[in-house]
Chain A
């Protein structure tokens, strides 16, 4: 099955990391561990990955990076005092990346 998305790791340096033109052309999704999801087989997405010097990851590699960060956050939440585990501070949920 042809994949819909590709993943890379790139640190968001702020202004100019994603510009308005790129944002219009490409649907970005940012995940923990500086993982970015962009469309696969897309010229503009490939150009953006090159611009930000993104390290391309397979979906499984990206998932592992995200999982590690989620699990660390879950462990930190689990260690919180009970009074801080309130409705407005829920336990971090697992994230499943799309193919």
Chain B
């Protein structure tokens, strides 16, 4: 029998209890509990919203390999009319490309975003079904070899553009109408092969070629959970879906597939994962829907369009085994403060400055090294409601109030040892946001003098220049990014607490997807493609945290202490490392508590020897 050392090249080390800082994958023996333990990363597989199709539709075709590359074609638009519209997804957005030769819906589909097949379907008035097949070469659709049996009712499709399979479907008039025929495509012609064991329509399937496919769900009628596996010559019954349904979609292959959405007696959001043997329920699609387009694999998939009660443009992306982040308490501030500001690169290199202590404003500045805060050079002027940007050695303190009625545009620049007064903002303001990497490159945005403003100003190291305004004036917003590519999110516009997010491209602000939870006086960290929004006042104060992937916000692990109002934040690299220090919380007010964000976390598992 092999030993662990022979396999891994290491011995299992004994510890009295557990090692202080085990690394991911480490195995050890706990002598106190007499068990072996190992450390694994915490991960989650889930759907998150992505940018929407341009044309709302159901009964469409969809092909692709993952959640960054997909093709959507045909379908029924909002007025239930067949369309030929084709859209290409690049991981961020959908773009209209060349149409199908003929408007079509309820077709079989297979292939990728650059080489796809739209086979048969419903493109005529009577009979509806067509023999036609169209082939996508990455630029255009062209008609090619026809199938042998015309059918619609969304036959299943599997494979790639040179080796594919279609199966099932519906013929009207037909005897029977519900079909089991399977046809194999070899890149030049279609050949009839063995039928499905269970005839069905409005089904789905996946597979890598004309010798490897899976067919699951559909309408026989009634709705079925039946699953069959194709080996190149025959269909074999395998384990059923947990939820029988029709009008569903799927992604993957025979060894590993994903089934999502569909219709039972209503639209469903259920997602199930196939491991080659059985289906297991996993995290649902966020919006229940049926008659969608879909593509990808069990690790990276996309669902788009469909019917949620009406035709939709909604798109969602599935990512498997994404790291789960978490907050941990860090070293506390020496002086608890609210309405302060911060800057820094990470949770191990940050500054926290200014703010309000009971009864007065503060010029205090504290430096964090990942363990504790140390007092360093004070600001030249005590102030609250200011904003911070830059790094631990090259920072900016911008705007704020120097007394209750006095709002200022003061800017102070930090060189790693002292603050120096530099040129003021053009528009005095407090409770603004500011983001940037150094004390020579930052953008200040929003704030209140006292009404919420939309002004944005860019700092070049010597002066502020007015640039394009936010679409929505606000104060108490969060920000992330650089002075050429930034995000502003949340805040308060004088009437309502906001969830809206705006993206800065060095020219103008554009509204993008909203936060899930509207909030004021929140914290922000990261860059415009990978950011974190945390804490704030909903009201009440919250510890909710959301991460931004460049397209949408997703809720992630909460802070342990809800807080709002002038949190000193740091972390300008991405959404995997951030710091939140101080701020206000409920009635206690002035917080010194600090929390550190890590974009990944681990769990220690015990090996059972029973």
Contact = CB atoms under 8 A, between A and B. Distances in A.
Interface string B67-82: 0000000000000000
A22 B595 CA distance: 13
A72 B332 CA distance: 24
Interface string B579-603: 0000001111100011010100111
Nearest to A23: B326
Interface stretch (A1-9, A24-32, A56-64): A24-32
Interface string A53-86: 0000000000000000110111000000001100
Contacts of A32: 585-588
Given A70-B586, A93-B540, A23 B603 contact: no
A41 interface: no
Interface string B313-347: 00000000000101111111000000000000000
Interface in A10-51: 12-25, 27-32, 36
A31 B539 CA distance: 15
Interface in B554-589: 557-558, 560-562, 565, 585-589
B562 A30 contact: yes
Interface residues of A, number: 32
A16 B562 contact: no
Nearest to A81: B404
Interface residues of B, number: 35
B562 A25 contact: no
Contact of A18 (B328, B372, B404, B540): B328
Contacts of A93: 539-540, 586-587
A27 B560 CA distance: 7
Contact of B329 (A16, A25, A70): A16
A73 B332 contact: no
A33 to B, nearest CB: 8
Contacts of B601: 20-21, 23-24
A36 to B, nearest CB: 8
B328 A23 contact: yes
Contacts of A73: 586-589
30 contacts: A12-B332, A12-B593, A13-B332, A14-B330, A14-B332, A14-B593, A15-B371, A17-B329, A18-B329, A20-B602, A21-B601, A22-B328, A23-B557, A23-B560, A23-B601, A24-B42, A24-B326, A24-B603, A29-B543, A29-B560, A29-B562, A30-B585, A32-B585, A32-B587, A36-B560, A72-B587, A73-B586, A88-B431, A92-B586, A92-B587
Interface of A: 12-25, 27-32, 36, 69-70, 72-74, 83-84, 88, 92-93, 95
